[in-house]
Amino acid sequence: MSDRIEQQLAFLREAEMLKSVTRATPIHDASRPENSAEHSWSLALYALTLADQAEPGVDITRVIKMLLLHDLVEIDVGDVPIHSQEGSAHGSAEIAAQEAAAAERIFGLLPEDQRAEFHALWAEFEAAETPSARFAKSLDRAQPVLLNHQSGGGSWIDYDVHWDQLQSRVGDKIALGAPGLWPVIRARISAWFEARGLI
Amino acid sequence: MSDRIEQQLAFLREAEMLKSVTRATPIHDASRPENSAEHSWSLALYALTLADQAEPGVDITRVIKMLLLHDLVEIDVGDVPIHSQEGSAHGSAEIAAQEAAAAERIFGLLPEDQRAEFHALWAEFEAAETPSARFAKSLDRAQPVLLNHQSGGGSWIDYDVHWDQLQSRVGDKIALGAPGLWPVIRARISAWFEARGLI
């Protein structure tokens, strides 16, 4: 038991590093970039709050676990902004390979049973094939949209994002796992793009 | 449904403010204070990882929900450091009344059923009477201790904390809900206090 708890605490100590990984989205008042640890908290709270937006077959507890763990690989790889390099960097084979190695290292700090469990949750999220993973992915796309809007534009300005890019890179993916959520978000944010001639 | 999701999104928009509430504990590299949003993420990850430290009767999913919600009242009240005012400010009747009003306001943004559910989870955490709440409270005490240690001393230095104060304000409370965890933490951190003549 002693070794077990030492391994668990080593993992939790390593996880603290996620607070230094910054994202393209600013926080609510645009005073600084959001970091991936607080982003993960937001997503878990989204899952808890928007549970009734989930499709049949979604296990909300599993979604929350995935969202708590999903960005830990960024401790090694950093966050890859969805709108960077014209939307091509996110999900590239090179980044995916780096993230897979990071998952091996970071979840490898845990006792064997938890290593397997946490790694499987992360892999399920990445594959986005189960209803729970698709819902989790949709929330991971939705929160930055609403936070960009709340903060005055955020990474949409930095990356010169037009409406059709937002629709294809983000909207279509939110709609995959949370079909009722995207129309509500779209109604909130479209005026921002219209006012700037980006629709 | 339209009103319902609008209320849910209003709550999530308000929750973003927690990222601006700073705590007495610095992050891992002491580069800046931790904020209450990323602290809440750490605690949920602690619950997931240290679930086997919980006493019988603890519902880990419920613990995670409590920990995701427990600090939202700080949006109105701010964080009250456990070692401030010689340990007397934390848990005072005045602070408790302010936090109760904050809970009414913030959870009041939600649809009625979720307002009741989230408020009950927060109240259960605050009361610290159920096994799940006691475990959640223990983790809320444990993570700052380990993070202070990781960052080189943190709020122990700022508030001139001696070993007997740490034991009574923190150690005894960790032991209440996670009796196996405190001896392991104590063994890790006691050298820091010994080296400074604080034991």
User: Mapping DSSP to helix (H, G, I), strand (E, B) and coil, where does residue A199 land?
Assistant: coil
Q: Per-residue pLDDT tens for A80-112?
A: 999 988 888 887 899 999 999 999 999 999 999
The structure's pTM equals 0.97
Quick one: pLDDT at residue A37?
98
Give CA–CA dist A30/A42, Å, rounded.
16
The C-alpha R_g of chain A, in whole angstroms, comes to 17
Q: What are phi and psi of A22, to 5 degrees?
A: -95, 155
Quick one: pLDDT at residue B129?
97
Predicted confidence (pLDDT) at residue B1 exceeds the cutoff of 80? no
Which among B45, B52, B110 has CB closest to A12? B45
Question: How does the average pLDDT of chain B come out, rounded?
Answer: 96
B61 contacts: CB under 8 Å, gap ≥ 6? A61, A64
Residue A169 pLDDT class (50, 70, 90 cuts): very high
Burial readout A59-70 (b: 16 or more C-beta within 10 A, e: otherwise): ebbbbbbbbbbb
**To the nearest whole angstrom, how far is the Cα of B30 from the nearest Cα of chain A?**
11
Which among B20, B29, B41 has CB closest to A37? B41
What is the pLDDT averaged over residues B89-118?
Answer: 95
In the block, which residue shows the tokens 């109105």? B76
**Contact yes or no for A49 and B11 at CB 8 A:** yes
Exposed / middle / buried, residue A123 (Cβ in 10 Å: 0-12, 13-18, 19+): middle
Show residues of chain A in contact with B59, CB under 8 Å: none
Q: Which of residues 81-140 of A touch B (CB under 8 A)?
A: 110, 114
CB contacts < 8 A (A, B): 126
Quick one: pLDDT at residue B117?
98
Which among B12, B48, B181 has CB closest to A45? B12
Choice among A11-25, A86-100, B91-105, B156-170 with the minimum mean pLDDT: A86-100
CATH number of A2-195: 1.10.3210.10
B195 contacts: CB under 8 Å, gap ≥ 6? none
Both structure tokens of A52:
């009734």
Q: What percent of chain A has pLDDT over 90?
A: 93
Q: Per-residue pLDDT tens for A51-84?
A: 999 999 999 999 999 999 999 999 999 999 999 8
Q: pLDDT: is B1 or B96 the higher one?
A: B96
Quick one: pLDDT at residue B112?
98
Quick one: pLDDT at residue A98?
97
Residue B137 pLDDT class (50, 70, 90 cuts): very high
